[in-house]
Structure 1
Amino acid sequence: MAKENYFVGLEKPDSLLFQEGLEWLVRGAKTTGGWIVVNQRESIGHIARHPGLGRLAIFHKRNVTRTIIADCIMELVTKFTIPTDGSKKPMLVFHPTIELLNKLEEIPNTYSMLVIPWLAEEADGWAKKNFAKDLENPDLPSIYVDEVAVTAFKHLKFAFSESHPRTPAEYRAALCQTLQILIENGIRFEPQAMQSALVQKCGWGPVSAKQIAELSDIFLSSHSPVGYDGHGPWEPDIIKLWKIEAKKKDTK
């Protein structure tokens, strides 16, 4: 288990997330070097094609496991080449599976780890277990969030437990529609406050909460998230039920 654990969100372009991740790794690897982790070596192609990350393309060569980036020695790790010791180095993990994260947890002496998730749900368990922090907001505030919003996401969490979305797109659409209904009905909140409340009050995982906060920020800036067509699991008048349930809690 790493001494410090972090994650980033999902709604920024991969090119930005990957660059932020590499910059984080370089800062921490000045004296020790660092680990670059992918599920399998073939995954490097998707990463290296982004601006500023072409230096990683050398890992395509089967016999190459090390390279120098910004005067730091970086070593490649895959699910087939898990090191036996973390050597007190920082570790940058690209789009891990749950299986890979479980393996990485077992490495002793890893100083810090940053996960760039592919799906929020694949990183939530790791984030909860290891008290991982949002890299952008390591000290999330515990600010009041309208009880209607809390109720809405409790309902959505329960709905997912009863019938899980069939695809990641369907999952994301449900998050988007819930936020859209809340905002269109005058339920306001700060994205960071919502992120904190989702974990503390609603039972959502830290990475899913980060994604919801990012989506809420997009809606609150009068834009619509890319790929969202306005459809989801709820009928528009679901807001009435959320308000009734929230009022019941307020009167207890």
Structure 2
Amino acid sequence: MKGFSMSRQNFYVSKPADAEALILAAEFSFDQLGVPESSELWIVTETKAQLRHTPIEQFLGEFQTKVLAQGRSLVSKGKPIRYYSSVTLPRSAPKAVILLLDASLRLVTRVDGLNGTAAMIVVPWLMEDVQGWIDAHGPTDILTNAQASTAPLPAPIVVSALKSLLTGINVSTGLAHPRDKDKTIDLFRILKKAKIPVDAEEVRAWLIQQKLKPTYADEIASIARDPSKVKKSSSGVAWAGDIISQWKTRSEVEANT
């Protein structure tokens, strides 16, 4: 399936951003520049104000921080260091190590969807803002070196249904086409009518693990939470009348192979 890269390394600090967490993450990120697969380091925050006059400025130095804030780069271990805010963040990050500071839900979702990233190090503002990212990727905690658990897999029949969905919609555009959105709504309405439990967060995590862009996974998970509240653009049903039986059979076959 065409999607974004999942080959990157994922790390986080298992507590909200404070001076200790910020500096520890910065030191760790600079160490990652020594990894051959990395090409540069990006420091990313929501706004430029989160860069200046902070523990990160104390770590980098006032002059160096000012250089980054002006859009210029520094060099460490022969590789460039750059700063981006949510306004200036590029759409791809070829082999970049990304240090995401004071990570908000909106910004961690954007950075999570960048193509080509070598490593992502997240220092959260609030832990709940990054829980969905943790559930999807199971990052390593740089404080303890322990790997976080990913979300549980959806029920086998739900996984079978989601696999059908991913082969039936344009995964490169999410639910931009009304037909793809209707197909998604129908899928979750069918599961709900059959009284099959669906956990939207499990669905989101599984979709991202299948290389679907996080923003598209969010769209699908939003529908999964309550498909009856989402309007369709057409009156027809996109799935065969016996689709539940098909999904059940496929899930049983896969369980035995």
Radius of gyration: which is bigger? 2
TM-score calculated relative to the size of structure 1: 0.48
TM-score calculated relative to the size of structure 2: 0.48
